[in-house]
Amino acid sequence: MIMRVTILFLLGLLAAAALEAGSTVDREAPFGISEQSRESRNEISEKRFVIRVIDGDTIVVGPNEKVRLIGVDTPETVHPKKAVQCFGKDAKEFTRNMVERKSIRLVLDNANAARNHKDRYGRTLAYVYFDDSTMLNAELIRRGYAHAYTRFPFRHVVEFRQLERMARSQAVGLWSSCQLNSSQATGGN
């Protein structure tokens, strides 16, 4: 009797392990549609409501926190020392349509932990995810509204560079209609 109970217990453990393993297998997402990465599932994430969009790569979440999207740089629309840049209004409008007055999920990158996940202007540095696990940061680059901002290290740098190469080669978005100076094209701010 004890042997039978032990065998049934072990079979139950095996079945539970098989179910758990099956549920954690990552489905392959199309490149650039950024299924939530294995790393970000292990990170602390927070649901937030977007109050407004400042420009294509900066948003404000409730109650009143500015968030700078990690790894992307959109053409300027509100910089005090720069004119509105080519495709800047389009990038801002895309971001507005995607997130304004909606709930999103912010995920921090451990690469920014030493500076408390803030940039030099005090903005929180984060990836923005939608409920379907699409990452806004990656979508901006993939659709040609931004280029990869690689001045500082971050977890998705390889993916973002690849997305930018694809957008450039397909002449998508700003790559189809804008003359970029060298600082814009290489991740200058």
Residues forming the active site: 68, 76, 123
Other residues' Cβ atoms within 10 Å of the Cβ of residue 105: 18
Cβ partners under 8 Å of residue 184, min gap 6: 73, 75, 85, 147
Hey, what are 35's tokens?
């299924």
Q: Which two tokens stand for residue 123?
A: 């903005």
The DSSP-derived string for 80-133 is TTSPPPTTHHHHHHHHHHHHTTSEEEEE--GGGGGGTTB-TTSPEEEEEE-TT-
What would the two tokens of residue 86 be? Answer: 């080519």
